[in-house]
């Protein structure tokens, strides 16, 4: 893959034409995936084709499989609240055991089957907002699809950070290695140092969303139940990937060599590596303004 090729992806994103995409989401992990899924369903500036449930393991699940199942159920819940739906698929029940072995799932097959209907010059966008197990498994099973997809991943920390032991990446390091090493066209939205600017507060959410409709009330309620404290705020991480398609001018996207991901959760850099697109800054106010507008229209 050449720098000219990846620059064409960057220019296509900024071009603003409607993109078709799959959302791969650990929807029950926190309360930000729900915002991203609702926005994906409601925007008229991109077309959501399907949703995959991704695995996760924290204090909201008993293991990756349980996290994936809870995420799948939450996907159905959000689609019901929003009042529109697309096909939904169950994802991986475990993380990758190594870089060479895929985890079989309906979600991985969905990526493969959908990607085969797209071309290099008119790609399928895969927005990943959790552990990237499903996407990596699809690339292991069908490496040829890398030429017909663009992966937009909220994963890892900023390249200037001490390490990249961020939740989405550190859950499945072999999967992250697959993504960074495969040569797939990649747009990385790093968490610490970039996307952590997408914070909101309860007064803001109540002002713009409370009482607008059933799913807006649900979003306000789950954020209210998640945190606490007079000065508490919450980063709505996952909407950054949707913003890459529906309001790309809110993102400062640059092209740089793709780093290696090491087994101890750090980056290693080499100018000889294939190129990727890296988000180095974003416009928080523009993104929230666009999202609130779509939620309440």
Residue 62 confidence (pLDDT): 98
Residue 225 has a CB neighbour count (10 Å cut-off) of 9
Three-state secondary structure readout of 82-151? HCCCCCEECCCCCCCCCCCCCCCCHHHHHHHHHHCCCECCECEEEEECCCCHHHHHHHHHCHHHHHCEEE
Does CATH number 3.40.50.2000 belong to domain 3-296? no
Residue 264 confidence (pLDDT): 81
pLDDT, tens only, 171-203: 999 999 999 999 999 999 999 999 999 999 999
Classify residue 237 by its DSSP letter.
Answer: T
CA dist 185 → 50, 121, 257, 276 (Å):
20, 12, 12, 7
Is there a contact between 192 and 240 (Cβ–Cβ < 8 Å)? Answer: no
pLDDT, tens only, 126-145: 999 999 999 999 999 999 99
Name the pTM for this structure: 0.97
**pLDDT bracket for residue 75 (50, 70, 90):** very high
* Residue extents of the structural domains in the chain: 3-296
Residue 282 has pLDDT above 80, yes or no: yes
**pLDDT bracket for residue 221 (50, 70, 90):** very high
Average pLDDT, the chain: 96
pLDDT, tens only, 230-267: 789 999 999 999 999 999 999 999 999 999 999 887 89
Mean pLDDT, rounded, for 143-153: 98
The number of C-alpha atoms within 13 Å of 167 and in the hemisphere containing its C-beta is 15
Closest CA to 113 of 148, 86, 78, 79: 148
User: To the nearest 5 percent, what fractions of the chain are helix, strand and coil?
Assistant: 45, 20, 35
**What DSSP letter does each residue of 4-56 carry, written as one string?**
HHHHHHHHHHHHT--EEEEEEE-TTSSSSHHHHHHHHHH-SSEEEEEEEEPP-
Residue 56 region, left (φ>0) first, then alpha (ψ -120 to 50), else beta?
beta
């Amino acid at each position: 893959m050449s720098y000219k090729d990846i620059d064409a992806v960057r220019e296509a994103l900024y071009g603003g034409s409607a993109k078709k995409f799959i959302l791969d989401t650990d929807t029950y992990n926190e309360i930000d995936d729900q915002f991203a899924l609702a926005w994906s369903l409601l925007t008229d500036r991109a077309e959501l084709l399907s949703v995959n449930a991704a695995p996760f393991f924290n204090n909201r699940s008993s293991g990756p499989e349980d996290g994936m199942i809870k995420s799948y159920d939450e996907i159905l819940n959000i689609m019901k609240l929003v009042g529109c739906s697309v096909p939904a698929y169950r994802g991986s029940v475990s993380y990758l055991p190594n870089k060479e072995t895929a985890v079989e799932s309906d979600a991985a097959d969905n990526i493969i089957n959908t990607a085969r209907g797209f071309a290099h010059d008119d790609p399928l966008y895969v927005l990943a907002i959790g552990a990237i197990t499903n996407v990596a498994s699809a690339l292991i099973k069908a490496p040829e699809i890398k030429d017909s997809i663009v992966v937009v991943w909220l994963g890892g920390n900023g390249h200037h950070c001490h390490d990249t032991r961020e939740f989405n990446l550190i859950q499945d390091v072999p999967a992250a290695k697959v993504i960074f090493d495969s040569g797939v066209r990649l747009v990385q939205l790093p968490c610490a140092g970039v996307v952590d600017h997408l914070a909101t507060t309860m007064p803001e959410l109540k002002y713009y969303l409370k009482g607008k409709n059933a799913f807006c009330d649900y979003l306000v309620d789950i954020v209210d139940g998640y945190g606490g404290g007079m000065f508490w705020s919450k980063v709505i991480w996952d909407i950054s990937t949707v913003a890459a398609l529906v309001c790309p001018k809110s993102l400062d996207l640059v092209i740089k060599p793709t780093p290696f991901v090491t087994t101890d959760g750090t980056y290693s850099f080499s100018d000889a590596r294939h190129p990727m697109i890296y988000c180095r800054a974003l416009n928080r106010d523009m993104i929230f303004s666009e999202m609130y507008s779509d939620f309440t229209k």
